[in-house]
Amino acid sequence: MTTTHAPVAAHAPARALSASRTTATAARVLRQLRHDPRTIALLMLVPCVMLVLLRYVFDSSPRTFDNIGASLLGIFPLITMFLVTSIATLRERTSGTLERLLAMPLGKGDLIAGYALAFGVLAIIQSALATGLALWVLGLKVTGSAWLLLLVALLDALLGTALGLFVSAFAASEFQAVQFMPAVIFPQLLLCGLFTPRSRMHPVLEAISDVLPMSYAVDGMNEVMRHTDVTATFVRDVLIVAGCALLVLGLGAATLRRRTA
């Protein structure tokens, strides 16, 4: 064992949000995933396979595929990012690395932003693949711009990341974390207007669906489907989804504690 001396580091103080610490965290999260190619393959391929499946389930009614397909382009990134983030942050909590990081000059915002950035990059690739496949191979008919579809998909992914980060605070094990998926995502899936328009639901359910963020994610996708230009409803949907994502990210940051019992 050796003890040669490197120059003593002049340490930068911890600030609320540090760009270099955030990007270092994002790079680390992506590097971890790179050692896990199977997870990457599943993340990228499963949504595409589901879309292909859906296309041929509705083989005789392409109009139904148009309606559901666009909604799913928004829902897939939300679900996958929710799962990946909740497990990844749970592992960070249980492995002791979170405690170690919070004993270091890392801001909670740096950690959250780092995760959001890393999974945002993945979400862009995943959404681009799924959107490209749906539009150009499976013949999904969209009136508006594909870029707007991608924007909504990215915001949905961010929302999924935020929700996953938040619920991981309430899960003591991977088993529990996975069970949060049906608990948090399925009700939104049933009420978001995918199966039947929200206006045709029981009034109580419709009221509930009005406060669930996934309803606006699906709504935004449908706006792009039907209109050539950016509508006011679309802008409202995008702002609501983005606002919800930021709100839940903030709640997630509040669940990271430097001192624990």
Partner 1 sequence: MMNNVDDPSRPPDPHTHAVHAEGLTAVRGPRTVLHGLDFTVPRGRITGLLGPSGCGKSTLMRAIVGTQAHVSGALEVLGHPAGHPALRTRIGYVTQHPSVYDDLTVRQNLDYFAAILDPGHAAAERRHDNVTRAIADVDLTSHADALAGNLSGGQRSRVSLAVALLGTPELLVLDEPTVGLDPVLRRDLWHLFHDIAATRGTTLLVSSHVMDEAERCHRLLLMRDGRILAEDTPQALRSRTGTETVEAAFLHLVDEAVAAGRAKETAR
Q: Does 16 bind partner 1 (CB under 8 A)?
A: no
Please pick, from the candidates 179, 207, 250, 257, the single residue that binds partner 1 as defined by CB under 8 A: 257
> Whole-number minimum distance, CB 2 to partner 1, in Å?
5
Q: Does 232 bind partner 1 (CB under 8 A)?
A: no
Counting Cα atoms < 13 Å in the Cβ hemisphere of 211 gives 4
> Among residues 92 and 237, whose Cβ is nearest to partner 1?
92
> Whole-number minimum distance, CB 88 to partner 1, in Å?
10
**Residue 185 to residues 129, 190, 225: CA-CA distances in angstroms?**
23, 9, 23
Distance CA 51, CA 214 (A): 19
Q: What number of chain residues touch partner 1 (CB under 8 A)?
A: 40
CB contact at 8 A, 192 and 212:
yes
Which two structure tokens, joined as six digits, stand for 217? 């994610």
Can you list the alpha helix ranges (DSSP code H) found in 103-231?
108-132, 146-168, 174-180, 186-191, 203-210, 213-226
Segment interacting with partner 1 (CB under 8 A) among 15-23, 78-86, 132-140, 179-187: 15-23
Q: Does 260 bind partner 1 (CB under 8 A)?
A: yes
- Helix (H) / strand (E) element for 86: namely helix 62-94
Which two structure tokens, joined as six digits, stand for 48? 């595409």
| Contacts of partner 1 in 23-62 (CB under 8 A) | 24-25, 27-28, 31-32, 35-36
Give me the sign of the Cα torsion angle 42, 48, 194, 147: positive
Segment interacting with partner 1 (CB under 8 A) among 16-24, 52-60, 191-199, 230-238: 16-24
> Among residues 45 and 103, whose Cβ is nearest to partner 1?
103
List contacts with partner 1 (CB under 8 A). Answer: 1-9, 11-14, 18, 20-21, 24-25, 27-28, 31-32, 35-36, 95-97, 99-106, 257-261
